[in-house]
Structure formats: C-alpha cells, structure tokens
Structure 1
C-alpha cells in the first residue's frame, strides 16, 4: 500500500475518507455508469459536492444522526451518492439486496426498525414502492434518478468518530434466515484497506462493480477506489455477453466478483479461443464462495490473466486475499494471506477471526454471544488450516462435514475433484439423513454443455471417476442428482445448499 493510501486508510469515517480524496484528486473519475451505448461519470469532487446536497435534502426530510434508513437500490451512481450522503449525516444505514422480496425485505425493515426506506420504484418489472406500502414501511421515498436535494449550509458537523454502529448488513441468504450484521465506518474502511493492500492497484487501473452495491462488497470496493484514486464501472444489470461491450469500451483492467463470475467469463472466452475476451483485463479477483483449483488454472491458461481469490463474509468483508506475486500453487489451492491487523486462529479445525474489519456482532444479542469466543474471536463456522507461509487453506464448512458411519467426510474435497470432470459445470455435495448410516453423501450436479453423443452422467460413472482420482471408498457419493441449474442467491451467486437439503432429504436411494 502506497503512502497516500496508507494515510487515507487512517481516516476516522467514510465521509472523512471521501472528503480527503476529493481534496487530492477532485477531477479524477471515481464511478462510471455503464448504460449500454451511453455512460455517465462521477468524479471524486462531484461525489463530495453532490452527496452533501443529498444529505441536506435528507436532513430536510427529518433524517438525523442515528436515524435508521433502509435502502433497496440497484448498482447505480445515485445509490453511491445516497450512501455517502447518509454517511455525511451519521445516519444508520440498512442496505437490502434489490432482488429480495416481501419475506426478506419485511424481515430487514422490522428488525432494523427503519424510519425511512429508499426504493427504486418500478425496477426490472417489479414495483418496489408498492411492496414497501404492502409491508407498511415508514418514510418510503424513491431514489433512482432523482435524489433529495438541499442547501448544505443547513447540515450539522459530520460525525467525528467511526466506531459507532452505522451499518446493518444482512447475511446473504445461504441459510434460510438472514442475520443483521453490525458494522462501523472503521470496520468497512479496514475491510476495503485489506482488499486494496492485496490487489495492489494503481491510479491507472479501471475496476468494475457488477454485483449488487447493497452487498458488503459495495463499500469494500468503494473504499479501495478512494484509497487509490482510480475508477470503477458500475453495471446495473450484469449479464454476459451483453456486458462485454462495457468492459471493453471502458478499458476495465480488474474484474471479478466470485467463482460464478469467473466461470461466466471463461464461458465467453471459450467462444473465441486465443482472442482475449477483454483485451485490457489483467486481473480477475473476487471471493465470497469457494474456488476450485481447476477454475484458477483454466482462467490463467485460457484467458491469459492473473486470478487472485480471497476469503470474506458479511461479518468480515475481507479476511485473506491472494496476492499477484503469490506462486501459482498458492493462488490455486489457498485463499491467500491475512493483511496486517487481521488475526486468524484455528481452534479444533475452525477458523476464528479478530481485527478491526470484524463486525461488532448481530442485531440479536443472543446471536452475538454465540458467535464470539471468550477471547473475542469470531467463530466463522469454516474449517481450514494455515500453511507455513501463512496462507489460509479452507477445507469446508462445519455444517458441510458429512458424518457417515461415524467418519467425517469433507464435501469440499469431493466437489473439488468433480469440478475437474469435463461433464460437470458445477456441483454441490451435501449430507442427507440416513437411518442406517447417519448421513449419506449426495452429489448434486449442474451439467456442463456437452457435444451431441456425450455420455450421460450416472452414479456409476461419477463414482468410477472419483475412484480413479484416488478418493477413498468411504467418501464416494451414494446418491446422484442432476439439475439444470443449482439454486443460488442473488448477490455473489453462492449455491444454496439448504435448499438442496430441503429438496432431497425426503428422497431414497
């Protein structure tokens, strides 16, 4: 991290960080909105100036320091302006993923006790304003093209400290019930600093935000832009191949999101082997979901770019990250190293965390007390170990350990092997209740596109392949399910294993 970025990273609040960056490079772009043939650009100076006017408009509506404001908005410049306006006021923000509907949105509004709710109106054919009214939301206002506006002279002084809880994020839906995660400005700045430290961007880079800005990755990425003074292209609707024109036209150098994004870029690359799908791209980076080693090797081999994958969660936006100068083996098989200030402790195989980027806990005090151990380390529920070089290797989830006849089986080990099979597009391995064995191993496969005449995926073919790969006999799947598309969440496209367990728990061999 360079000296300027390190100094900016010491900012007490997100508003102070934005203010200091605007002083340094007011005319440089920070956000570029890709709207197909047209685009809009926001500079660092305009971010500060316009966010203050929006803050004044919100102040006129009754938003004060500590007021809880929920927002359910797409990845747009206006969304970023609203978040920085709320940061300027010192309000408490509760971002809600725009794909969520009554159940999740209503839960977030009730639990956060939101006093205002910003929505996009009718977006992608769905009327968010009408849903908000059905839910009885308070202070509903639309914030898509038009934002509140006012004279900044009315504003009180900006918040002076960044250690109060001012963010309520919601776990992203890989379990059936979301949890309200409490963050501070400082924890988000620390998370973004971790990401920036690992990726080592320059002010000549062009990033991309193709995931929901309401995800914890939104502030994570924006902090990196503020620290290093480079822009990112925002994609309100990400779909390939349509979005490729935006990546190419704006000269994106850093792209990614999660493993699902890597696979989508690879699929496009394979349509024209040997011709770079994004000529300016030098780095794919992301996290939030496991990365099979084969995906790393395929990206480097076929796309001709580096891939650095990391480990993060809503509770801790950035924990470890692969670095561009790590060896290929490290990048393929580990999640990278923790940055300065992130402590990792492995207890009985479980990864535990302590540091400034760790959340303050949950809205539910009972969940908070269960999540932290006596030394203040967050229990992640992830299994792993540290290598001699300090790199973290994840081996699965506590709940993904399948106990068959008393023997522990890692779902991830089987998944990594099946990802190498040419007929497998994606796979999830789960444990299902079994009266005789306690649990049985079930592999649920999303098939890859296959040429006509390719063999059908069968349980016998899958187990034969795994035997040849050296998997122990007691770990072989005893049930195979094939589905056109695995169920995923709407943020980083994580597979929803709880839905698979619900669907197949009643099936028999």
Structure 2
C-alpha cells in the first residue's frame, strides 16, 4: 500500500475521494471504453460529474432524493453515479438485464422518485418497461446526460456514514432485499480489493461486469486510490472482447469464476499464443473457485490468479494477494484487511478455534447498515455487532479464510445470487408441476448452474426444459436465472418428520 493510497482511503465521502484524486493526477486516464476507445480522465470525471449533478439538480434531485438507474457499463453510467454522489442523493442501481419483476420491486420498495434508463438496449425497450411499471421521473441516460451550471449546486455531502446506496440481492427469499450502504462502507470495501492486489502505476484494469453490481464502486475506488485506469466492456463475450483487452494493454482482468473459465477455454484454442500478452493477473470473486481451475489458469494463461470473498452486504471481505503462497491462492479466499474482523462460530454464536468449521460472521467498516425492510434486518446482527452471513467455513492458523458451504439456499451463477425459492414459487404455477426443488450444481464455466428437479403428478405429460423456461420468461423472470437443466422424478427425497425436501440428496445425485 502506498502512502498516497492510504491517505486517500481516509476520505469521508466518495466525492471527496474523487476531488482529491483529480487534484493529484487530473490528466491521467481513469475510464477507457473498450469498443469506442473513448477516454475520461480523473479531472474530467470530477468536472463533468459536477455539470451532470447541476443538470440533475435542475430536474429536482436534491440531497436524499432516491434515484434508481438501470444502465450498462459505460462512461455515462459512471458519470451519472458520481454526479448523484456529489449531490448526496440516495441511489439504487439495478442490474441492466433485470426485467419487470425485479425492476418493479426495486422501484416500489425504494420509493424511487427518478429512474434513469438506457432506452432500447440490446433489443429490450427499458423505457417501455418503465412505463409499464409506472416509474416516476423516467429519463434516458445512455448517451446524453442532464447538464447544468455547477454554481447552482448545494455544498457536497460532508458525512460519509449516511445511507446513500441501496443495492439489491436475492438472498434466500423470493423477493430481493435492499442492502443499505454508505460512502464509507463502499470505500472500505474498495480499499480491501485495491491494497490486496499490489497494484503497479503501469497497471490497466478492466470492468467486464455490470457496473450496477456492488463490484462497480469497489473497482472505481480502487482506481481512485491508485490512480490507474480501467477498460469498460459494455458487452462481454469471448472471443469478441479479446481485441479490447489486447488493444488497450489490460494487465488485470477477471470478475468471477465464470470469467476464469472463459479465458482458459479461449487460451486452449491456441495454446502457443498468449491470450492477452500484457495480462499479469486474474482477480475476482462471487462464486466458488475449484483449486484445479486456479492451477490450470496459472499454468496455461501464464498469470497469477487471486480470488476473494464478498457479498452485496459486504462488498469485499477477504482477497488473495499476488504475494500469497500458490497453495493459499488455490485453496483459500485470502485474508481480511486490518479493518475486517471475521469470527467463526457454532450455531449458538460461540467462537470456534482456527481449523474448525462454523458459521462466518463479520464486523467492520465495509459491512452494510442492514436492509431497507427493517423486518429483514431483524436477527441479521448478533449481540456483538457481527453480521451473520449464513456461509460456512474456517480460518487457518495464519488467518486465511476457507469457505466450505452455505447455509443459505442461494445459487451463485456467474457471480450473481439467484434465489431458488423465487424460481420454485413461479414453477408451482405451471400445470404439470406437483412439487419442485431448484438447486445449484457445480459448473466449470458458471460456478454453478441452475437445475430444476420436478415431481409431476401421475399421468401428466412429461415437461420439457423449453416449456419450463418459456413459462418463467412469461412470468418476468430475468434471463440469467433460467434453469439450464431439468430433471423429472417420481418423488422428491424428503425427511420422515416434516417431509422437508432433502436438497443435498438431489445435489449429490445430479452433480455426478
């Protein structure tokens, strides 16, 4: 960690951090669009965001106003988000491939007074969806952003501990949960990522995932702390995206386990040619990482691979470092930063010694303040202020975290949390479904794939996967949540007391 990065990390707010970085290196690039080559400097980010903030102010956005935005990964999206941070608005990013069901819930629960959309993007009309949902203050923000004179702006927010961000996670229930973050919690999370990666001034990062994900501000804060740029990919698909990585000299890539597998598959098409000649590091998190995948990446791509542990509630908990021993990088999630306390407990909350599996509990500045719905926050923190993650694992003697399972019924596909119950509830509406269990199965490309196991009434025509996915699409389910696998059974396995479905038996059966 450099002294400059350490000092910048003490900034009270995101806007203060942006201003301090802009003063240090105003002409250095911060954002580069992979497809267009458009570039924005740190100084330009600060100055243009102020003008956008003034334009938003002219439309009625004030400190505390709730603004939702559902935009792809591009320069305008970052500008809009930073402008909202300058105003002290409460912003709620929505993943751009969410549809009526998830988007409508986020708008209703947050009480958003404005909603920024990209218009028609990748064949889907977001403006029309906003109309169907009765969204307020809808405006398109793909190319043109509101502009105004910064002289009209109120003072920037001074406190970094007020709720300014609402992110959405599926969790274990059918409806998403609004996760409450502050500028300081996001700065703490981004600092963990930045310091662990041991960045070099010549590094060039990349953002190939939706900027609306909690990883978006994580990555931006890393750029601000160390003064390096990142290449933005509005659409990530291989091999098409390789040109952007190569042309802009990306040194750090990744996103999640799925990204590692995709890069590895491309490398295997031409083993004798480095896939991305400048690449020195793959880094990410969000899904389980098999040790064999780690070793294959290092061996075949010729770079290091560091993996971390985070969630919407705590954007960065642990992170592997390029200086860690290879076996630690392959088999653990890295170590927590100085400000993150990890406690492994038994079900009653009693701390367990290193090497003993238990529930992972967290306390630190990067931890969220709770959920938008107070009822969902009840019982989430223990008496000592630790967040109950529902994840299972242990700490090694030297402080590395090993995750061994999840108590929450969540599927993590390509780094995105998917609620099994949400899909099950929708499938129960489909004729021919007697009962259903949705499970996650290990997948080398996705981390996990979604599998629906359906128990059909006797004499019912067999369901097909296309029929199942067509039904779920009609129900408004997001595409990334659709099952990739369908299994039909005469009877789901259940226990003998409450007849609860034993999902672990299904995982054992179909993982093979």
TM superposition score category, shorter chain reference: 0.7 to 0.9
Q: Partner of 1:465 in structure 2?
A: none
Give the distance between the partners of 1:184 and 1:317, measured in 2 at CA: 12
- Give 1:52-67 correspondences, 5 Å limit: 52-67=50-65
1:34 deviates by: 1.4
Gap runs ≥5 in structure 1: 402-410, 413-428, 433-439, 449-482, 488-492
1:500 deviates by: 8.3
Pick the aligned partner of 1:131 from 129, 146, 161. 129
Give the distance between the partners of 1:15 and 1:400, measured in 2 at CA: 37
So what's the TM-score if we normalise by structure 2?
0.80
The answer on 1:325 being equivalent to 2:334 is no
- Give 1:376-455 correspondences, 5 Å limit: 376-399=385-408, 444=441
The answer on 1:351 being equivalent to 2:360 is yes
1:369 deviates by: 1.7
Structure 1 residues 188 and 444, CA gap change in structure 2 (3 angstroms):
closer
1:177 deviates by: 2.3
SS of equivalent residue, structure 1 residue 54 = helix
The answer on 1:360 being equivalent to 2:373 is no
Q: Partner of 1:371 in structure 2?
A: 380
8 A contact 2:343–2:362 mirrored in 1: yes
1:193 deviates by: 0.3
Q: Partner of 1:272 in structure 2?
A: 270
SS of equivalent residue, structure 1 residue 69 = strand
- CA deviations on 1:399-421 (whole Å, 9 max, x unpaired) are 469xxxxxxxxx99xxxxxxxxx
Detail structure 1 runs of 4+ shifted over 4 Å in the superposition.
172-175, 440-448, 493-496, 498-509
Structure 1 residues 323 and 34, CA gap change in structure 2 (3 angstroms):
same
Q: Partner of 1:165 in structure 2?
A: 163
Q: Partner of 2:47 in structure 1?
A: 49
Give the distance between the partners of 2:334 and 2:441, measured in 1 at CA: 28
Give the distance between the partners of 1:353 and 1:102, measured in 2 at CA: 34
8 A contact 2:257–2:288 mirrored in 1: yes
CA RMSD between the two structures: 2.9
Give the distance between the partners of 1:329 and 1:174, measured in 2 at CA: 32
- Give 1:75-224 correspondences, 5 Å limit: 75-171=73-169, 176-224=174-222
Structure 1 residues 327 and 321, CA gap change in structure 2 (3 angstroms):
same
Give the distance between the partners of 1:187 and 1:210, measured in 2 at CA: 23
- CA deviations on 1:144-170 (whole Å, 9 max, x unpaired) are 000000000000100011000000000
SS of equivalent residue, structure 1 residue 219 = helix
Q: Partner of 1:7 in structure 2?
A: 7
8 A contact 2:26–2:42 mirrored in 1: yes
Q: Partner of 1:490 in structure 2?
A: none
8 A contact 2:18–2:46 mirrored in 1: yes
Give the distance between the partners of 1:351 and 1:192, measured in 2 at CA: 21
8 A contact 1:172–1:314 mirrored in 2: no
Structure 1 residues 264 and 507, CA gap change in structure 2 (3 angstroms):
farther
Q: Partner of 2:250 in structure 1?
A: 252
SS of equivalent residue, structure 1 residue 371 = coil
Give the distance between the partners of 1:112 and 1:325, measured in 2 at CA: 42
The answer on 1:34 being equivalent to 2:34 is yes
So what's the TM-score if we normalise by structure 1?
0.81
Q: Partner of 1:24 in structure 2?
A: 24
8 A contact 2:196–2:321 mirrored in 1: yes
SS of equivalent residue, structure 2 residue 390 = strand
8 A contact 1:354–1:377 mirrored in 2: yes
Give the distance between the partners of 1:156 and 1:353, measured in 2 at CA: 36
Give the distance between the partners of 2:295 and 2:173, measured in 1 at CA: 30
Structure 1 residues 500 and 397, CA gap change in structure 2 (3 angstroms):
farther
Give the distance between the partners of 1:59 and 1:297, measured in 2 at CA: 51
1:197 deviates by: 1.1
Structure 1 residues 124 and 400, CA gap change in structure 2 (3 angstroms):
closer
- Give 1:268-307 correspondences, 5 Å limit: 268-307=266-305
Give the distance between the partners of 1:180 and 1:204, measured in 2 at CA: 37
8 A contact 2:66–2:110 mirrored in 1: yes
Give the distance between the partners of 1:506 and 1:398, measured in 2 at CA: 27
8 A contact 2:171–2:408 mirrored in 1: no
Structure 1 residues 168 and 445, CA gap change in structure 2 (3 angstroms):
closer
8 A contact 2:261–2:444 mirrored in 1: no
8 A contact 2:30–2:42 mirrored in 1: yes
1:310 deviates by: 0.1
SS of equivalent residue, structure 1 residue 274 = coil
Structure 1 residues 400 and 64, CA gap change in structure 2 (3 angstroms):
closer
Give the distance between the partners of 1:340 and 1:505, measured in 2 at CA: 50
8 A contact 1:307–1:331 mirrored in 2: yes
SS of equivalent residue, structure 2 residue 34 = strand
Q: Partner of 1:475 in structure 2?
A: none
- CA deviations on 1:469-495 (whole Å, 9 max, x unpaired) are xxxxxxxxxxxxxx99xx9xxxxx999
Gap runs ≥5 in structure 2: 347-357, 413-419, 425-436, 446-464, 470-477, 494-512
1:285 deviates by: 0.1
8 A contact 1:289–1:494 mirrored in 2: no
8 A contact 2:172–2:408 mirrored in 1: no
